[in-house]
Structure 1
Amino acid sequence: MKAYQTLLYYCYSHIEDAEQYAADHLKFCKNLGLTGRIIIADEGLNGTVSGTVDQCQKYMDYIYADGRFNATEFKIDEVDEPSFMKMHCRYKAEIVHSGLRDPNIINPTKKTGKHLEPVEFMEMKDRDDVVILDVRSNYEHKMGKFKNAVTLDIDNFRDFPAMINQLAQYKDKKILTYCTGGIKCEKASALLLHEGFKDVYQLHGGIIKYGKETGGKDFDGKCYVFDNRIAVDVNSVNPEVVSVCYNCGTKTTKMINCANPECNEHFTQCEECGWKMDGCCSDSCKEHPRKRPYDGTGYYVKVPMPVNKKDITLA
């Protein structure tokens, strides 16, 4: 067993005075010594936290002891070191930004697609009457996706509602939605049902759980994750690298942020092009006066912003 763990989780459950809860939540995490990124909203919580095995167990106990979050399912990864450098806990309007804020229209606690366990998803995904729908952003599915999955040209999940018309051709099919951990599918599947799609499903626990319980069969590439690891292996059955270098087109699994802070484009880049381009996506970014020093990782710590009620950060 490794010394540290990383927990990925979410729960849709109404929180009274969520702003105050975010402050209290941060204080608990700070005292526990965890690092991570947590979003708190009136509709629930969404987070990835990292710490020692004991710290992570105490955090899970804390979540379940609350009573409101009993439906939380933690995806647990063993890691060699914490997956974050700091602890962030923010209050926002949604726990995943979609723009779908009217609970009378989209409410994951009341109506979503049918949840499929990983084995069920694996058994259904290749049927002729099924369409596999990736609801993640471009940079995520370029890193890895299920074979034959339909992907959407979106930069953020908030762009998903505008793509519904493009999916109308699949209304007579069974729609199997998937994302990293399940949270985006809760609203994506609910929206599809609201828009008249009749047979909508979602991969319970997302790609991460699928990898742990099925060996990740037919998931090509790596799964993008929102922590310092950037991407993790999923498929131990029939793995294949699908992501390519933005600059030269060779296959690579390395993803970075452009060293030009005014660009900050999230893109895949091979080691050779990384050093050649000094961590930049283009020659113009390479010449930018504010370009950050490239150390081979392409990871840059954000400059801390002033703390306010809605952006609570532990430096």
Structure 2
Amino acid sequence: MKKYHTLLYYCYSHIDHAEEFAADHLQFCKSLGLVGRIIVADEGLNGTVSGTPEACQTYMDAVHADPRFAETDFKIDEVAEPSFIKMHCRYKPEIVHSGLRDPKIIDPTKETGKHLEPHEFMEMKDRDDVVVLDVRSNYEHNVGRFKNAVTLDIENFREFPDKIEELAAYKDKKILTYCTGGIKCEKASALLLKSGFKDVYQLHGGIIKYGKETGGKDFEGKCYVFDNRVTVDVNHVNPTEVATCHNCGVTSSRMINCANPECNEHFTQCEACGWKMEGCCSDTCMDHPRKRPYDGTGYYVKVPQPVNLEKIRRRNHLTPARNSPPA
């Protein structure tokens, strides 16, 4: 029986004193017994949290009660155990790192691609005048992607703006963007529009919502998620595997981080190669003096730094309040 819930969500909405908000929000999450990872920026929230159904409901109610986040769309998964070990809530310049922080360039609260509900996306994706565009990183789309999707050779979403020119051949097509939960598409679709693409759409709620509402038809492989589960099943209609082991080439969607912390590459590795290579991607990494002990998971917990609430509040009181973006 699955006793816990995992929530995936984001919301673009300006937050005054966002760094202080992050510290207070961390304490609130801990008071509910939640674990997870939340990014707070001036531009909004991006989070995945996990806990009991009651704690998750209390959290969702509190977020929705704040007028800034009233429209937040939570994707809810039932899980057998919490999807994280600890609770992190950190302030960062963006809720998804794109390098596009200037609202004069793009502002997801004002203009993005047209949102398509999962069934609308499924109905449109195979048309001749449509291109389905995966805006995620290599390690994500290598383990799972929509059939016939265009993928980009990027290690991180911040590289997406540099790939716009490569997509120029599709300017006369309808562009259907997708990502895990929808957050990257908000900025990706906005940038495509800014770059002269006329007909841009995005999958509302991302792959996760698509799987829940359509059965995941034509999503090949597994969906990468940013918690202890690493990947989740999406397609219950016509499932297939697309990922292969980095070392031996056998079909495998099992993802790990290299045991060499100075490499830390995120890659697919079958269980047999995992034990043979001691969780490393190469012989060189196997011989590295700082190699971490391999326990069969390839998952390594970061040690969190304590939050100094008083230091943050003192700094905010000495710094003039940020102006809200123009309406």
Matches of 1:99 and 1:269, distance apart in 2: 31
For the 8 Å contact 2:176–2:202, the answer to whether it is kept is: yes
In structure 1, the partner of 2:81 is: 81
Partner of 2:177, secondary structure, is: strand
CA displacement at 1:308 relative to structure 2: 5.5
Query: What does 1:146-165 align with in structure 2 at a 5 Å threshold?
Result: 146-165=146-165
Deviations 1:246-304 (A, max 9, x none): 00111001000000011000000001111110100000000111111111110111133
For the 8 Å contact 2:142–2:242, the answer to whether it is kept is: yes
Q: Give the stretch that moved more between structures: 293-302 or 221-230.
A: 293-302
What are the ranges of 5 or more consecutive residues in structure 2 without an aligned counterpart? 313-327
TM-score of the pair, normalised by structure 1: 0.97
Matches of 1:290 and 1:305, distance apart in 2: 22
Matches of 1:275 and 1:108, distance apart in 2: 45
In structure 1, the partner of 2:170 is: 170
CA displacement at 1:67 relative to structure 2: 1.3
In structure 1, the partner of 2:19 is: 19
Deviations 1:167-219 (A, max 9, x none): 00100000000000000000000000000000000000000000000000000
Matches of 1:21 and 1:119, distance apart in 2: 36
Matches of 1:155 and 1:305, distance apart in 2: 26
Q: Which residue identity does 1:274 align to in structure 2?
A: G
Matches of 2:77 and 2:284, distance apart in 1: 39
CA displacement at 1:2 relative to structure 2: 2.0
Q: Which residue identity does 1:191 align to in structure 2?
A: L
CA displacement at 1:305 relative to structure 2: 4.0
Q: Which residue identity does 2:262 align to in structure 1?
A: E
- For the aligned residue pairs, the C-alpha RMSD in angstroms reads 1.3
In structure 1, the partner of 2:317 is: none
Matches of 2:95 and 2:211, distance apart in 1: 24
TM-score of the pair, normalised by structure 2: 0.93
Tell me, yes or no, if structure 1 residue 53 matches structure 2 residue 53.
yes
Deviations 1:3-43 (A, max 9, x none): 10000000001111111111111110011110000000011
Deviations 1:47-89 (A, max 9, x none): 0000000000000001011111011000000000000000000
Tell me, yes or no, if structure 1 residue 7 matches structure 2 residue 4.
no
For the 8 Å contact 2:133–2:149, the answer to whether it is kept is: yes
CA displacement at 1:235 relative to structure 2: 0.1
Sequence identity percentage = 80
Partner of 1:68, secondary structure, is: helix
Matches of 1:55 and 1:199, distance apart in 2: 41
CA displacement at 1:161 relative to structure 2: 0.2
In structure 1, the partner of 2:321 is: none
Tell me, yes or no, if structure 1 residue 42 matches structure 2 residue 61.
no
For the 8 Å contact 2:45–2:95, the answer to whether it is kept is: yes
Matches of 2:28 and 2:50, distance apart in 1: 14
Partner of 2:295, secondary structure, is: coil
In structure 2, the partner of 1:109 is: 109
CA displacement at 1:306 relative to structure 2: 5.9
Deviations 1:209-232 (A, max 9, x none): 000000000000000000000000
Matches of 2:308 and 2:257, distance apart in 1: 27
In structure 2, the partner of 1:190 is: 190
Partner of 2:68, secondary structure, is: coil
In structure 2, the partner of 1:90 is: 90
Matches of 1:93 and 1:302, distance apart in 2: 21
